[in-house]
């Protein structure tokens, strides 16, 4: 069984198209949120996501904000400017679809799904072993899949040694999973780990494996659309270097 795990698409349809082509046939798709925000294609992105079969999709903080359910003042100036633009661009139908998605963590088999973290599904970042340790206490499944940080990585809890470690697995390496771990597939639409390729992962719940993957795409075309829309230059520039 192959499950496509996505997060932080950020209105970048060119990146998502590359990921879907690279992933090939899958049985299910799990999207961990932030369908919109930053990028130039909010309506196209929501429509593409809506068309994916066997989809489980959560709301991320940018999705919540574009629905008017979060104070935009918590975002930096550039992110807030993009959100205001996207709020104007999104059709009522696509806003309605986003509004139908859950903000809370979900459980699928032996996996907890959250955008930010299991203890704060929308907003908290898991960036270090201390925050990861605190979050291992907030879910009961063997594994938790999160997004939000835009960094492809995993945190393992060695229950015998009571030690949490941070690992950055090699792209394309098929990892055999053992309880317990928090895994991040990285960002499709705006990677921040110095690799501009769109990030995602393939999870096999039967073989209990996780494969972090990357897909190259024409980010220059996305940069042109960002600039043509008058969105922040920072959001165009960072796509070329993955920061």
81-140 pLDDT, tens digit per residue, is 999 999 999 999 999 999 999 999 999 999 999 999 999 999 999 999 999 999 999 999
Range of the domain at 34: 3-240
Q: Residue 79: give its domain's CATH number.
A: 3.60.21.10
Inter-CA distances, 75 with 61, 67, 131, 135, 150, Å: 10, 14, 21, 23, 16
Inter-CA distances, 88 with 28, 66, 68, 134, Å: 31, 9, 11, 38
Q: Whole-angstrom Cα distance, residue 83 to residue 62? A: 7
The number of domains in the chain is: 1
Instruction: Give the sign of the dihedral formed by CA 209, CA 212, CA 217, CA 221.
Output: positive
pLDDT the model gives residue 72: 86
Alpha helices in 122-230 (DSSP H): 129-136, 219-228
Looking at the DSSP bridge assignments, the partners of residue 113 are 106, 145
pLDDT the model gives residue 129: 98
pLDDT the model gives residue 62: 98
148-160 pLDDT, tens digit per residue, is 999 999 999 999 9
Does the pTM exceed 0.75? Answer: yes
What stretch of H or E contains 1? none
pLDDT the model gives residue 71: 86
Please answer whether residues 59 and 32 qualify as being in contact, where contact means their C-beta atoms are separated by less than 8 angstroms: no
**Reported confidence tier of residue 73, pLDDT bands at 50, 70, 90:** confident
163-212 pLDDT, tens digit per residue, is 999 999 999 999 999 999 999 999 999 999 999 999 999 999 999 999 99
């Amino acid at each position: 069984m192959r499950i496509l795990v996505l997060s932080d698409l950020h209105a970048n349809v060119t990146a998502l198209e590359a990921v879907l082509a690279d992933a090939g046939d899958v049985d299910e798709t799990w999207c961990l949120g932030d369908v919109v925000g930053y990028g130039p294609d909010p309506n196209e992105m929501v429509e593409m996501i809506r068309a994916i079969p066997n989809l489980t999709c959560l709301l991320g903080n940018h999705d919540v904000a574009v629905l008017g359910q979060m104070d935009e003042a918590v975002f930096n100036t550039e992110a807030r400017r993009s959100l205001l633009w996207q709020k104007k661009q999104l059709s009522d139908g696509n806003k309605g679809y986003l509004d139908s998605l859950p903000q809370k963590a979900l459980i699928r088999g032996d996996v907890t799904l959250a955008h930010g973290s299991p203890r704060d599904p929308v907003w908290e970042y898991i960036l270090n072993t201390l925050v990861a340790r605190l979050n291992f206490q907030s879910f009961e499944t063997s594994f938790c899949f999160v997004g939000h940080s835009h960094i492809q990585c995993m945190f393992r809890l060695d229950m015998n040694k009571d030690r949490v470690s941070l690992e950055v697995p090699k792209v394309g390496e098929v990892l055999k999973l053992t309880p317990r771990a928090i895994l991040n597939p990285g960002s499709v639409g705006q990677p921040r780990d110095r690799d501009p390729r769109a990030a995602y992962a393939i999870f096999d719940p039967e073989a209990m494996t996780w494969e972090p993957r990357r897909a190259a795409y024409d980010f220059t075309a996305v940069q042109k659309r960002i600039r043509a829309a008058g969105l922040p230059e920072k959001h165009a520039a960072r796509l070329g270097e993955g920061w």
